[in-house]
Amino acid sequence: MTAHPEIVLVVARAGNGVIGRKGALPWRIPADLRRFKMLTQGMPMIMGRKTFDSLPGLLPGRRHIVLTRDPEWQEEGAEVAASVEQALVRANAPHVAVIGGAEIYRLFLDRADRVELTEVHADPAGDTRLEAFDPAAWQEVARETHAGDPGFSFVTLKRR
């Protein structure tokens, strides 16, 4: 296994902390989907089962590692892991993308090296939330703001 893979959280989060509603994103931002593809292409992606279920299918060019408490769960194309450590061993790569949901982000937060954040400039209704990233722990190193409905910013955070 790679000694210390770079762990990247890939997150889209609204101003009110919402990251999901009924198993889906509560907004439609094509540029965010293109950025997600670019950021995760060729990398193992670690996700929870609900996030896996929300995908339109297996995403080409990426491995799907699903962290779940259910030892019986399996799905074609998914590699199952029962713990953060097991997921990282399965990934066995220099860079790993963690793509959600909220509980999975929280499990990896202390190990993450970088956050690729899409800040959605809206406050949609939602049932899944993620707290803001602590500025004492994270330094913003890049920001690209886009107008639109909703407007959004692509932000890169690195651990301080």
Joined tokens for residue 91: 């990934």
Domain membership flag for residue 56:
yes
Encode pLDDT of 55-78 as tens digits. Answer: 999 999 999 999 999 999 999 999
The pLDDT tens digits for 8-35 are 999 999 999 999 999 999 999 999 999 9
Q: Is residue 1 part of a domain?
A: no
Q: 72 lies in a domain?
A: yes
Per-residue pLDDT tens digits for 83-134: 999 999 999 999 999 999 999 999 999 999 999 999 999 999 999 999 999 9
Instruction: From residue 119, give the alpha-carbon distance in Å to each of 18, 67, 101, 143.
Output: 10, 25, 16, 10
Measure the CA–CA gap between 146 and 160, rounded to whole angstroms: 26
Burial class (CB in 10 A: 0-12, 13-18, 19+), 56: exposed
pLDDT of residue 4: 85
Quick count: other Cβ atoms within 10 Å of Cβ 4? 10
Instruction: Give pLDDT, residue 76.
Output: 95
- If pLDDT is split at 50, 70 and 90, which confidence band does 3 have? low
pLDDT in tens, 37-57: 999 999 999 999 999 999 999
84 inside domain: yes
What 3-state DSSP class applies to 27?
A: coil
Assigned domain for 48 exists: yes
User: Domain containing 150 — which CATH number?
Assistant: 3.40.430.10
Q: Which domain holds residue 65?
A: 6-159
The total number of structural domains in the chain stands at: 1
pTM above 0.85, yes or no: yes
77 located within any domain: yes
Q: Assess contact for 118 and 37: CB atoms under 8 A.
A: no
In the predicted structure, residue 2 carries a pLDDT above the cut 80: no
Separation CA 155–CA 146 (nearest Å): 11
Q: Are strands 151-159 and 114-121 parallel, antiparallel or unpaired?
A: antiparallel
Check residue 148 and report its DSSP letter. S
In angstroms, rounded to a whole number, what is the distance separating the alpha carbons of residues 12 and 130? 10
